[in-house]
Amino acid sequence: MFASKIINWYQKNKRPLPWREINNTYFIWLSEIILQQTRVAQGLPYYERFIDAFPTIEKLALASEQEVLALWQGLGYYSRARNLHKCAKEVVNRYGGTLPSSYGQLLKLPGIGPYTAAAIASLGFNEPVPVVDGNVYRVLARVFGIKENIADSKSFGLFFERSKELIDKEKPGDYNQAVMELGATICLPQNPTCMECPLEAMCYANERKMQAELPVKVKRIRKRDRFLTYLVFEAGDRLALRKREENDIWKGLFEFYKLEGDELYSIDTLPDIELMSVLLKTKTTIKEEVRLPKHLLSHQTIFNSFIYVCVQPTQEMLSWMQQNNLALYSRKEIEMLPKPVLITRYLNSVSK
């Protein structure tokens, strides 16, 4: 009854989204990766830009990482973009450019976890494997009164098994999309519109007015404070940037020379002795120091400072830059580089 009620509702009420109009597993995969932790309204323009730039998996595989990251810019969670690219290459090398058709094979590809594998297998290949995401947790917890803590990784197995019992074996793709659509449009985290819900009469939370208590989610996140001081070197109208290579946030994106410590530095307190000695020997003008409001990420708070330094491109300065993987870029070139949102905000603030 649960499956038939929501599938009927879904068929009448689904939003017309581009990847739903055509059965193309590449489009389904791309949409699922983009929409993880992103709302449809925010993700849709990214989806369209990706399809325009890379209409096939082969085209995506042939792109450079820089092109992929530049299109992804602003969506956050950049490892998803890097994995998307890596996965496209593997699909071309191992499967001739077509995604494999089973849940088990899909799970072995980089960046494809249980949720994405289930979405591709059920929507694209009609395999009856359920998706479990935040929407599914919410709808099932409320309808069946499940009180497990969904922040606990052990809960995934419980919801997955329950969904396996509920899924429509004939229409697994419609079933999966129906639960997610209901969670995204009716059974909202706050103020669900129960009066419009096809499950109203059978819903545990609705009967007991427990919508605000379900699902149970007790999270213990410890946010980390970070203090990043950027030195923005300008030499002859060009700015020095480098690609982040560390296994850290923003890997693969471009930023200015950065110093990190337990506090923000000013030009007089820089702890980099080698840099200070190069600066002392180079004609240098400190133009300004800018601090933007703290930048919030899901697990980190970034305190920041940008010190704008005009330098003479002396041999010593240029070789110091080279040793530190910095290269000089014109403003136009910088616009094309993939950058963290914090760097873009800084550039916009100074260009004003």
Q: Which residues of this chain interact with ligand SF4, rule CB under 6 A?
A: 139, 142-143, 186-187, 192, 194, 197, 199-200, 203, 205-206, 211
Closest approach of ligand SF4 to the CB of residue 342, in Å: 37
DSSP-derived 3-state class of residue 318: helix
CA quadruple 196, 197, 201, 204: dihedral, nearest 10: -130
DSSP state of 18: G
Closest approach of ligand SF4 to the CB of residue 164, in Å: 19
Q: Which is nearer to ligand SF4, 33 or 187 (CB)?
A: 187
Scan for tokens 């699902």, then name that residue: 215
Q: Which is nearer to ligand SF4, 197 or 309 (CB)?
A: 197
Q: Which helix (H) or strand (E) segment is 88 a member of? A: helix 78-95
Q: Residue 252: which of 59, 110, 83 has the closest Cα?
A: 83
Cα–Cα distance between 176 and 256 in angstroms, integer?
Answer: 44
Among 32, 127, 181, 255, which one carries the catalytic annotation? Answer: 32
Asked if residues 256 and 337 have their Cβ atoms less than 8 Å apart, the reply is no
Strands 257-261 and 284-290: unpaired
Phi, psi of 306 (to 5 degrees): -120, 120
Closest approach of ligand SF4 to the CB of residue 206, in Å: 4
Q: Which is nearer to ligand SF4, 201 or 280 (CB)?
A: 201
Closest approach of ligand SF4 to the CB of residue 352, in Å: 45
What number of CA atoms fall less than 13 Å from residue 58's CA on the CB side? 4
Q: Which is nearer to ligand SF4, 111 or 192 (CB)?
A: 192
Closest approach of ligand SF4 to the CB of residue 143, in Å: 5
Q: Which is nearer to ligand SF4, 139 or 231 (CB)?
A: 139
Cα–Cα distance between 250 and 339 in angstroms, integer?
Answer: 8
32 is catalytic: yes
Closest approach of ligand SF4 to the CB of residue 1, in Å: 13
Asked if residues 40 and 15 have their Cβ atoms less than 8 Å apart, the reply is yes
Query: Among positive and negative, which fits the CA dihedral 35, 39, 43, 45?
Result: positive
Q: Which is nearer to ligand SF4, 25 or 206 (CB)?
A: 206
Closest approach of ligand SF4 to the CB of residue 207, in Å: 9
| Burial tier of 14 (Cβ tally within 10 Å: 0-12, 13-18, 19+) | middle
Q: Which is nearer to ligand SF4, 209 or 222 (CB)?
A: 209
Phi, psi of 238 (to 5 degrees): -120, 155
Asked if residues 214 and 189 have their Cβ atoms less than 8 Å apart, the reply is no
Catalytic annotation, residues: 32
